[in-house]
Amino acid sequence: MVPNPIPAAKLSNGRVPLNILELAPLSTGMTRKEALDTSLKLAKNADRLGYTRLWVAEHHGSQVFMCSASSVIITRALENTTRLRVGAGGVMLPNWSPLTVAETYGTLYTIYEGRVDLGLGRAPGTDPATARALHRGASEPAYFEEDLEELASYLSDQKSVVHSGVVSGAEASILGIEVIGVDRPFTRVRAIPGEGTCIPMWMLSSSSAGAKVAADLGMPYVFAGHFAPYNIDEAVEIYRREFNANAPTAMVDHPVVMMGMNVMCNEDEEEAKYQFTTTYQVQGNVLSGRPGTLTPPTDDLDATLGEKLADRVRALPSISAVGTPEQVVEKMDWVSRKYMVDEIITVTHAYDPQVRIHSLELVAKAWGLPILPAEGEAEEAEQTPSTPEPEVIEIAEEEPEEKVTPRPGGTRNRSAVYGPVHRSERKKPALKNSAGASAAAASSDSEDAAAKTTASKAAPAKKPAAKKTTAAKKPAARKTTAKTSTKATAKPKPAAKSAAKSDAASEQTTPAAKPTARTRTRRKPRPRS
């Protein structure tokens, strides 16, 4: 189970923790499902932004707040968060039996391992007709204290609590319930699995009478400073002065105060004031008895509400922090010091839900809450290495000289690694001092190239002379007779060989063609006279 700090520990910068009040508001043009889905989105953002608690209010028959079944909204928020504490802000105890409350929130507390808080209110949170429809009685403080004591007994680990009804031994064995007494067996009413959980309970109030009840019961106190705190100084003083740490229902051993505040934050002060006019309209609708959905902000509040109602709304002594992050933080710091509050609960009404989330994010950053990265930021952080990559410097590399390093134990068989090597790819063996020779050759080549370049620049370029070539003459035709001797006739060489020899001789000596071979012909003897 998660521990139940009352109050929660202060931040590392010494500031008090921040909470959020959620009423699931319905804006004009929004469906009821969209309003409830927006409430879930708010819970997820509150969890990421580092807010300590999310309080879900209870309103019945409201046209603007969709939080009549607050336990359902709380369950949904708990299911989609990991570190956020979610609680009822609060359960209107006159509308419910203490046993039902103990069973419901005891079950939530067990499932979600202690991330549940229980705020309790003395009013029914609705009109008298709706209150009667909920099948509950009056909401006088005397009844409230009695119901609260009964609720606390269900959630405690004490054995001697409430007895209700007579039961036989057979019924007790079948139902598996505990029987108290022998002659007249009574059953002890037990809230399972809430029994023994000791869920943290807070007293909600906006008056000095509620402050006295919280003090008598020894409970932590939440003052609704966001609306009609006409006697806030008196209420806080009474609570601290009359606090009873020895009460049977005492949750803490010293006074603990949480303060509610209206908050609207934006980078631009005028924009924050403009968005805050939605809150003025909500308050004006309540005062005029014309409840309705959240309406867009307005530049002319007098024209929207009427001059008299607008002046009345502006005069409400509510505790508000409106402006830039610096201005909001300054006002919240002042409230925490003045009233020595242990936690602050923020209340933000906005026609556009995104405006509300943006305001909460700005406040969280400026206040110093432990913010977690968003979903996209978390994925990017996982992909990015924690250590910076070394700087890569590109250097133009020269083609390295080929060196043959003899391998110990014999010559490496390249074909065994890379496969058969074609003869055209085989390299000649390196000569001795190959490195020096190649370096000298390279230097001489570079010097010659430089000299040639200089000379070419100095002298005009000449066209190379055309090479004279002489075609090989065909061997002269020979006249032969039938009486020519075969011995006197020279056998001519093949044409291919003579042509090759002719080309070779022309390249080495002179371009003149080599004369053809002479043949001897035997003359016919003259007849003797």
What pLDDT tens digit does each residue of the chain (529 aa) get? 555 679 999 999 999 999 999 999 999 999 999 999 999 999 999 999 999 999 999 998 888 999 999 999 999 999 999 999 999 998 988 888 899 999 999 999 999 999 999 999 987 777 778 877 876 555 555 688 888 888 998 898 765 444 445 545 555 555 555 555 555 455 568 899 999 999 999 999 988 889 999 999 999 999 999 987 778 899 999 999 999 999 989 999 999 999 999 999 999 999 999 999 999 999 998 888 888 899 999 999 999 999 999 998 988 877 999 999 999 999 999 999 999 999 999 999 999 999 999 999 999 999 999 999 987 666 565 565 555 555 555 555 555 555 555 545 444 444 444 444 444 454 444 444 444 444 444 455 555 555 555 545 444 444 445 444 444 444 444 444 444 444 444 444 444 444 444 444 444 444 444 444 555 555 555 665 4
CATH class of 18-166+180-262+343-375: alpha beta
Query: From CA 387, how far away is CA 261, in angstroms rounded?
Result: 43
- Please report the pLDDT score of residue 32 as a whole number: 96
Q: What is the largest CA-CA distance in the chain?
A: 191
- Please report the pLDDT score of residue 327 as a whole number: 97
- Please report the pLDDT score of residue 44 as a whole number: 97
Q: Which amino acid is at 188?
A: R
Handedness of CA 481, 483, 488, 492 (dihedral sign): positive
Judge whether 417 and 411 are in contact, CB under 8 Å.
no
- Please report the pLDDT score of residue 522 as a whole number: 57
Handedness of CA 486, 489, 491, 496 (dihedral sign): negative
Residue with the two structure tokens 């004369």? 515
| DSSP letter assigned to residue 294 | B
Query: For residue 261, what are the β-bridge partners?
Result: 346
Judge whether 261 and 332 are in contact, CB under 8 Å.
yes
Query: From CA 161, how far away is CA 151, in angstroms rounded?
Result: 10
Query: From CA 264, how far away is CA 319, in angstroms rounded?
Result: 12
Give, for 344, the enclosing helix (H) or strand (E): strand 343-347
Query: From CA 500, how far away is CA 494, in angstroms rounded?
Result: 10
Judge whether 55 and 90 are in contact, CB under 8 Å.
yes
Burial label for 236, CB within 10 Å (0-12, 13-18, 19+), is: buried
Query: From CA 52, how far away is CA 129, in angstroms rounded?
Result: 36
Q: How far apart, in Å, are the Cα atoms of 355 and each of 33, 37, 42, 414?
A: 19, 16, 11, 71
- Please report the pLDDT score of residue 126 as a whole number: 77
CA 529 to chain centre: 136
Query: From CA 365, how far away is CA 371, in angstroms rounded?
Result: 8
Among 197, 163, 189, which residue's Cα sits nearest to residue 99? 189
Judge whether 241 and 158 are in contact, CB under 8 Å.
no
- Please report the pLDDT score of residue 290 as a whole number: 83
What's the pTM? 0.68
Q: Say if strands 179-180 and 186-188 run parallel, antiparallel, or are unpaired.
A: antiparallel
SS3 content of the chain, % helix, strand, coil (to 5): 40, 10, 50
Query: From CA 85, how far away is CA 55, in angstroms rounded?
Result: 9
